[in-house]
Structure 1
Amino acid sequence: MRKLVTLSFMVMMLGNVSCSDEYNFHPYEPEKPVKQEISLLKYDFLSGGESLKDFSNENDNFGEWTLEERGLAADGTQDVGFYLNLSRRISFEQRATRVRLSLFSDTRFGLHWLERDGNGGSLFTIDAVKGTINIHRYWAGVNDIDASTSFAIENGHTYLLEAVKSFRNNTFTITDEQTGATASVETAPVLGAGQQEEFKGGRQNNVFGFRRISGKSPFIKDMEIVATVSPEPLMYIIGNSITEGDHVRQAARYGEVMASWLDGRVVFSGESGSTIEGVIDRVSNEIPFIRPKFVMVTIGTNRPNTREEVMKLIELIRANGSIPVINRIPVTSDGGSYATNEIIASVCEEMNVSGCRFDLATADDGNLHKQASWLFQEDKIHPTAEGHMAMAKRLFDIPGILLYMK
């Protein structure tokens, strides 16, 4: 009898709650992690030749960059192809580049973030003659302006330029330090129904540089590259376009889904076209600044990894105090992923390293030689949102990861 009374009381209470006009349901929203800005690289071109130690003239240039009393300047006899590139690769997907320089009434000057081969990426220009600042999409010789706004350059004034990358969005801002006048332009990708169609303003890839286009060279006084990351990040996720999330929305990519399960304490460094050689380079330039607990790598689709490269990558991650997580790559339509994954599996077993089984997640009925084609875009390379979700669920392949779940 007591059980019946208790049950009747609960039903009555639930009924009152469900009928109350005063009851408002508020879904649980986890607190977003606080992010901080960290300085990665900083150069003062007023302090001497040491500031040029990380820069190189890799392209066919028509002159030299020299350090003068007023800053770094280009001394060229022609006005084209005049670059100075940073030799340290950076690909954090939330970062800003700040440059202080003096400009002149006929200066045409740009900052770029390109691929290692000088192709593909984003170009940010100031055209004092036309009185504009611009964001260009730069690819295979194509140099399209995707965003532009008017801004008058005062001859000889000092300006702060800031190029910001936030996932696929680019923002370019100029500020006159004497007058406070400022202007900004931005680009965002055009997104179709559930997938990415086109990058506007290009991708800010991993090679930063200056370019004098024409007119009087500016005097570059200093520059800094900063990243916006969660303090004490739990995981740093690096890889190629699959990690970057090509053809899916930001929230759908596997790393973003994993981040939602890990309180968002994840830092991304995905870049289209990457191979393990580039990943090793970027890992050495990025993880010393953030000291993540785990470094998760997915690489090998664009070029097979060698045993030596995988071992070098693992040793590098451990030398920086992080735990390596080397994932198997998704199954490719030609089955070529099988050999790459055999190498990854062999090295990881030998060196006692865990990894997510993205091969099982994307295999047709467990057949690691056959791709589950319905989980991939038409190109049979990049997973769909469903493919990314299947991959994200393999997070539980990492021993002890449940300790860090929210």
Structure 2
Amino acid sequence: MMILIIVVSALLSVNAATSCVKNTSADSYGLTDLQLGTQSLVMETGQSEKISVSAVPATANQPGFQWSSSDENVAIVDNGMVTAIAEGETTVTVSYKTIRKTVAIKVVAPEVDKTLAVLFDKRLSNIQQPELILNDVARYTSQGLTITGTTNTVKLDKFYALAERKIQYHIKLSADAKAVFHSSEKDFNAFVDIPNKKISIATNPVTEKKVDFLKGDREYIVEIYHVYQQAKLRITDVQTRQTTEISAVNDGQGGVGKGALQPGFGVGMQWDYYCFGLSSGTSMLVKRITVSALKKKVKLLLYGDSITQPEGYFPAKDFHLAWTQQVISRLGGNAMSSGRGGAQIDMVMNYIKNELPFIKTEYVMVTIGTNGGNTEAKLKELVGYIKSNGSIPILNNIPSNESGTQVAVNDLVAKVRADLNIKGCRFDLPTSVDGDGKTVDKSSMYWEDYSGSYGWQVYHHPNEGGGVKMFQQTLLDLPDLYR
């Protein structure tokens, strides 16, 4: 009997030891299957998506999984993060020992709105982009540009002034993030506020809207539009395609200081460089940035300073009478303007180089010199650049103004036109008293009182009456434009 007890005890000890050894092996995870978050993905080139995987049963420990792509020329995978490389199809496999699951991946070309002219388009990853100034608040990762600092914003170092344009951001925000999108001059500020579930434009009073579908760690397309006097913010959930937007219309004062016709309603012209980042919160991931003109082919592009940007000073009710708007209307909308208040010829050359090469246009009209800076060499360089892009240059005289500086500027412009055998419009004639381009016709201009800032008063920007006269002058001087 004693021998039997010893044998049984030994057998029990061996079984217990064997059981212990088995439970400390890799099979101790208790994993019987894998559960994937998706069975298939359709992705655009450059896009990244995370495939979630969990152990079955849920109580099982989750080991490290093996990941692979059947065609790494189409898409690669790193610990579940799939990055689309090129158009095509591949299969991503995740495995643990003998258990294998697959996800079908189809990579397609990005959707492009063929009515738009793409001025700038970058997918952001580990490769540094020289056009982006990070200002010590962001770094490049495999997923995109990750912003974590709130002391500054990232700047797109490309100058745009086109009055019909938008910038589009593909982003992901943490649950506590409030993102800001502003101009480099900070005249325009827009926000996407995840914790408070709202979007807003910083007008006075603020223009805002509740957005119930906003949540953290979701991908969104944010679009900021500038369409003459209107600014618009649109946001779209990439996964659900839910979308909403807000807009505000700039209502110019019709003059400055005591000369203003009305208080106006400031929205911002979105000068001059796009900036974006975190107003508050933990993180903001930016995957792609695209700047587009809203038309890719027009008969005419109008360039210049504030005279070509009446949306900044015209009352909204009279804006249709601004000379640029009358020209565009006469052409049936087949034109766009691009002006920047305070611009000199060097600034115009800067943003014309960022816009003109991407828009097919027959004519390019330039009205520059109100703020000085013109030289014969610079004007001829500008005309030559327009011709090199396959367009016909039109170089206008600047309107008359109370300072009388237009006379010498227009003599120079006339000389360049004669030397290069190009056409232009004599805007100084209809805005002068005797039609000689010398003494300003004050009835055609807004009175602007800058005594509190620059110390002078001046009749300077064309009002609705001046706008009509300038448009009518284009009919006389440039009839070919309207044929």
Instruction: Using structure 2 for the length normalisation, give the TM-score.
Output: 0.67
Larger Rg over CA atoms: 2
When residues 191 and 239 of structure 1 are mapped into structure 2, their CA distance, relative to the original with a 3 A threshold, is closer
Q: Distance in 2 between matches of 1:265 and 1:147?
A: 31
When residues 329 and 192 of structure 1 are mapped into structure 2, their CA distance, relative to the original with a 3 A threshold, is closer
Q: Distance in 2 between matches of 1:261 and 1:269?
A: 18
Q: Distance in 1 between matches of 2:189 and 2:202?
A: 5
When residues 64 and 146 of structure 1 are mapped into structure 2, their CA distance, relative to the original with a 3 A threshold, is closer
2:329 to 260, 281, 297: 260
Give yes or no for the alignment of 1:100 onto 2:170. yes
Task: Map Cα deviations across residues 203-224 of structure 1 (whole Å, 9 max, x no partner).
Answer: 2223112122222121111121
When residues 219 and 180 of structure 1 are mapped into structure 2, their CA distance, relative to the original with a 3 A threshold, is same
- SS state of the match for residue 314, structure 1? helix
Of residues 250-259 and 188-197 in structure 1, the stretch that sits farther from structure 2 once superposed is 188-197
Q: Distance in 1 between matches of 2:302 and 2:217?
A: 43
The correspondence of residues 4-403 of structure 1 with structure 2, limited to 5 A, is 36-46=115-125, 48-49=126-127, 52-57=129-134, 61=135, 63-76=136-149, 79-80=150-151, 82-112=152-182, 114=183, 118-137=184-203, 146-152=206-212, 153-190=214-251, 198-229=264-295, 232-245=297-310, 246-248=313-315, 249-379=318-448, 380-396=459-475, 398=477, 401-403=478-480
The alpha carbon displacement at 1:95 in A equals: 1.6
Q: Is the 8 A contact 2:328 2:335 kept in 1?
A: yes
Task: Map Cα deviations across residues 41-90 of structure 1 (whole Å, 9 max, x no partner).
Answer: 111013x415x122225xxx4x24211122101243xx32x122112212
CA-atom RMSD, angstroms? 2.4
Match of 2:10 in 1: none
User: Counterpart amino acid of 1:294?
Assistant: Y
When residues 259 and 315 of structure 1 are mapped into structure 2, their CA distance, relative to the original with a 3 A threshold, is same
Q: Distance in 2 between matches of 1:131 and 1:145?
A: 19
- SS state of the match for residue 368, structure 1? coil
Task: Map Cα deviations across residues 14-47 of structure 1 (whole Å, 9 max, x no partner).
Answer: xxxxxxxxxxxxxxxxxxxxx922222111013x
- SS state of the match for residue 439, structure 2? strand
User: Counterpart amino acid of 2:220?
Assistant: Y
Higher RCO (Cα < 8 Å, 6 or more apart) = 1
- SS state of the match for residue 357, structure 1? coil
When residues 329 and 121 of structure 1 are mapped into structure 2, their CA distance, relative to the original with a 3 A threshold, is same
- SS state of the match for residue 342, structure 1? helix
Instruction: Using structure 1 for the length normalisation, give the TM-score.
Output: 0.80
- SS state of the match for residue 447, structure 2? coil
Uncovered stretches (5+) of structure 2, i.e. residues with no partner: 1-113, 256-260, 449-458
User: Counterpart amino acid of 2:435?
Assistant: G
Of residues 234-243 and 361-370 in structure 1, the stretch that sits farther from structure 2 once superposed is 361-370
Aligned length: 350
